[in-house]
Amino acid sequence: MVSIFDTIESNKRNSMVLLVFSFFLFLGVAWSASYVLSLGEFGFIILGGVGIIYILFAYFAGDRLVLSMSGAKEVTREEQPFLYNIVEGMALAAAIPMPKIYVIESDAPNAFATGKDPKNASIAVTTGLLKIMKREELEGVVAHEMSHIGNLDIRFMLYAVVIVGAIALLGDLVGRMIFFGGSRRDSKGSGALVIIALVFMILAPIFAELVRLAISRQREFLADATAAKITRYPEGLASALEKLSANSVPLSAATSTTAPLYIVNPFAGKMGHLFSTHPPIEERVKRLRNM
């Protein structure tokens, strides 16, 4: 058996290592761009300004956009007393404020959490999820989403997305500048370094995206472990994940932007695990039952 607390600490550590790696990858791309175009600190200033604007927009408006894109409707205790009771109980167990509750009209069972911090968070579930889950299974799913809120996963993933986006943006910008104006490094001695820098800028966005996906998978493992700690019943979430794995109904409300937020990948089966936002459900179930 594996300790729940050891699992939580391990996933937090792995997530941070991946995030730090992606940050240094970004620094490498920034250096390459500065070297190839002789921009010096100017490139860092441009990227920093764009990054700050993106972070502020995502931080203050991201949750509302996600809920709107998903077609989620806020519900009251009178409309969904059973769901409301479970969310309220899991919020108390997780020691975080009661989040707003939303329901998505869809037969595809799924759920996600969003919000910039625990005081401004929301949990959304589909009607399909409510139809097939027993109480202990729904508690496991809700606890998983509570864990994302309590662990600040949404903010954490925002940092990862911003770094990956900055790498892709910088690589594209430099490519266009070279295409239209050429490299400013024309000396023969620097030719090899220019080629190395260009190759690095081409490959870095691919590696950065793989790192982002790896971070997302680590945070899912972390949320599973934290949910087990909250409910003290790992089997509830394990059983819920098995039911979700058996689902074949597509979730039309999901997009490539919102997919990482859901408890299971709404596009599962369309790509390998390396390019998935979620770890294999079989592995998640195995870890839960070993706790």
The alpha carbon of residue 215 and the mean position of all alpha carbons in its chain are separated, in whole angstroms, by 7
pLDDT band at 224 (very low <50, low <70, confident <90, very high): very high
For the ranges 1-10, 84-93, 261-270, which has the lowest average pLDDT?
A: 1-10
**Active site members:** 145
The alpha carbon of residue 265 and the mean position of all alpha carbons in its chain are separated, in whole angstroms, by 11
Two structure tokens written together for 172: 């594209």
For the chain, what percentages of helix, strand and coil (3-state, to nearest 5) are there?
A: 70, 5, 25
Top-confidence range, 23-32, 133-142, 147-156, 165-174: 133-142
**pLDDT at residue 217 tops 90:** no
CA 184 → CA 33, 144, 173, 245, distances in Å?
A: 11, 51, 15, 53
> What would the DSSP string read from start to end of 180-239?
HH--S---GGGHHHHHHHHHHHHHHHHHHHHHHHHHHHHHHHHHHHHHHHHHS-HHHHHH
**pLDDT at residue 177 tops 50:** yes
**Residue of higher predicted confidence among 148 and 213:** 148
Interval 29-80: pLDDT, tens: 777 766 666 666 666 677 566 656 765 666 666 667 778 878 899 999 999 9
The Cα–Cα gap between 10 and 20 comes to: 15
Sort 126 into a burial class: Cβ within 10 Å, 0-12 / 13-18 / 19+: buried
Q: Sort residue 182 into left (φ over 0), alpha (ψ -120 to 50) or beta.
A: left
Q: What is the mean pLDDT of residues 87-94?
A: 94
- pTM, 2 dp: 0.72
Provide the 8-state DSSP code for 96: S
**What pLDDT score was predicted for residue 161?**
66
- One-letter amino acid for residue 82 of the chain: F
User: How would you classify the pairing of strands 100-104 and 111-115?
Assistant: unpaired
Provide the 8-state DSSP code for 265: -
